[in-house]
Chains A and B, each alone.
Chain A
Amino acid sequence: NAGVTQTPKFRVLKTGQSMTLLCAQDMNHEYMYWYRQDPGMGLRLIHYSVGEGTTAKGEVPDGYNVSRLKKQNFLLGLESAAPSQTSVYFCASSYSKGSTDNFGSGTRLTVV
Chain B
Amino acid sequence: GQSLEQPSEVTAVEGAIVQINCTYQTSGFYGLSWYQQHDGGAPTFLSYNALDGLEETGRFSSFLSRSDSYGYLLLQELQMKDSASYFCAVTNDYKLSFGAGTTVTVRA
Interface of A with B (CB < 8 Å)?
31, 33, 35, 40-45, 48, 50, 56, 58-59, 90, 92, 97-106
Contacts and interface: CB of A to CB of B under 8 A. Distances in A.
7 contacts: A40-B101, A43-B43, A43-B89, A56-B94, A90-B42, A97-B93, A104-B42
Nearest to B43: A103
Contacts, number: 59
A92 B99 CA distance: 17
Contacts of B89: 42-43
A95 to B, nearest CB: 12
Contact of A48 (B43, B94, B101): B94
Interface residues of B, number: 23
Contacts of B91: 97-98
Given A48-B94, A48-B95, A90-B43, A42 B30 contact: no
Contacts of B95: 33, 45, 48, 58, 97
Contact of A106 (B30, B33, B42, B96): B42
